[in-house]
């Protein structure tokens, strides 16, 4: 019965990740779409959302509109006009059909004031920063990089593009990766639920909570320390999981070639169809 269950893992993981990304695209209170921009999100003790466009570029007009409880910042760059992103922060640039290359200094600068429970979705070539918050729901379907400050509660991320995310300390993590963007975090002090159907990697300084990982792509998970009372792994792709910490209980299913490394483990339950394996004991791990 268990073999049948993991045989459908690849399709299930991809469908779940795509579904989560689509749902988050509908739900955020703030959406930045089809845009080239530099965005700063400032969480405050407030219930509304305020958008301030601090600098403009006549070639890149941003339209701000309200639809119910949602605030939409629309750059109007549809039909694949955004061709490429390069660099990060002050070295960033984007290639736009009919406009050429837009450098960081020429990108519109947007400041968004939100409640402390942040909900933001971005697409296009948007580079952004989200300040410290109670909770964050963030979806990125574009090619720009984002930095997220410390989050007291859960950080919920949907990565469907090529942009990277760098986050601080968070109380819990729910992460879906369907693109090539990497996600790097500091300490996660609660449960981490990670689904990878793309090539993006997940790198975490430490975890102290349950860990649930599903991989149907080639992206890897690397965690450099901590303790997981429960470690559940389902691998149907080539991605590896490396946890340089202690897991009290390990439950792993392998349909693909990806492996699991854990420094110390209590009970271990394994089901294997592919070539994937569990390695318990010290191991080397790259940080880049």
Query: Tokens representing 202?
Result: 């997940």
Q: Within 10 A of 52 (CB to CB), how many other CB atoms are there?
A: 12
Please state, in angstroms and rounded to a whole number, the distance separating the CA atoms of residues 168 and 172.
11
pLDDT > 70 fraction of the chain, expressed in percent and rounded: 91
Q: Place 5 in a pLDDT band, splitting at 50, 70 and 90.
A: very low
Q: Is it the case that residue 21 has pLDDT exceeding 70?
A: no
Please state, in angstroms and rounded to a whole number, the distance separating the CA atoms of residues 225 and 85.
33
Q: Out of 1-5, 61-65, 190-194, 267-271, pick the least confident.
A: 1-5
DSSP 197-263: -SS--EEEEEEES-EEEEESSS--EEE-SEEEEEEEEEE-SS--EEEEEEEEEEEEEESSS--EEEE
Q: Residue 11's pLDDT is what?
A: 52
Question: Considering the chain, what is the average pLDDT of its residues?
Answer: 91
Q: Residue 123's pLDDT is what?
A: 95
Please state, in angstroms and rounded to a whole number, the distance separating the CA atoms of residues 9 and 1.
13
CATH numbers and ranges of domains, the chain: 2-280 (2.160.20)
Q: Residue 116's pLDDT is what?
A: 98
- 269-286 residue pLDDT tens: 999 888 889 999 999 998
Average pLDDT over residues 204-226: 97
- 236-268 residue pLDDT tens: 989 999 999 999 999 999 998 999 999 999 999
For residue 8, the 8-state DSSP code is T
Q: What pTM was estimated for this model as a whole?
A: 0.91
CB 148 within 8 A of CB 165: yes
- 160-193 residue pLDDT tens: 999 999 999 999 999 999 999 999 999 999 999 9
Q: Residue 141's pLDDT is what?
A: 94
Q: Residue 260's pLDDT is what?
A: 98
Q: Is it the case that residue 12 has pLDDT exceeding 60?
A: no
CB 242 within 8 A of CB 224: no
Q: Residue 14's pLDDT is what?
A: 47
Average pLDDT over residues 146-160: 98
Q: Place 3 in a pLDDT band, splitting at 50, 70 and 90.
A: very low
- 75-121 residue pLDDT tens: 999 978 998 899 988 899 999 999 999 999 999 999 999 999 999 99
């Amino acid at each position: 019965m268990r073999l049948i269950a993991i045989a459908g893992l690849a399709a299930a993981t991809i469908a779940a990740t795509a579904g989560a990304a689509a749902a988050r695209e509908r739900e955020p209170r703030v959406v930045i779409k089809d845009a080239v921009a530099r965005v700063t999100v400032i969480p405050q003790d407030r219930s509304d959302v305020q958008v301030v466009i601090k600098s403009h570029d006549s070639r890149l007009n941003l339209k701000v509109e309200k639809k119910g409880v949602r605030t939409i910042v629309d750059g109007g760059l549809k039909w694949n006009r955004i061709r490429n992103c390069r660099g990060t922060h002050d070295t960033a640039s984007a290639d736009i059909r009919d406009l050429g290359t837009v450098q960081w200094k020429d990108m519109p600068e947007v400041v968004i004031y939100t409640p402390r429970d942040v909900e933001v979705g971005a697409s296009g070539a948007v580079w952004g920063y989200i300040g410290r918050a109670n909770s964050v729901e963030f979806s990125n379907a574009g090619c720009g990089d984002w930095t997220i400050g410390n989050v007291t509660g859960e950080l919920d991320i949907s990565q469907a593009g090529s942009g990277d995310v760098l986050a601080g300390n968070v109380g819990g993590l729910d992460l879906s990766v369907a693109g090539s963007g990497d996600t790097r975090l500091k300490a996660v002090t609660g449960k981490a639920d990670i689904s990878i159907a793309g090539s993006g990697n997940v790198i975490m300084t430490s975890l102290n909570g349950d860990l649930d990982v599903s991989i149907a792509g080639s992206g890897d998970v690397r965690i450099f320390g901590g303790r997981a009372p429960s470690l559940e792994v389902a691998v149907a792709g080539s991605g590896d999981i490396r946890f340089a910490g202690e897991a009290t209980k390990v439950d792993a299913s392998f349909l693909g070639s990806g492996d699991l490394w854990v420094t110390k483990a209590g009970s271990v339950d394994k089901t294997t169809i592919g070539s994937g394996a569990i390695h318990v004991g010290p191991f080397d791990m790259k940080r880049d």
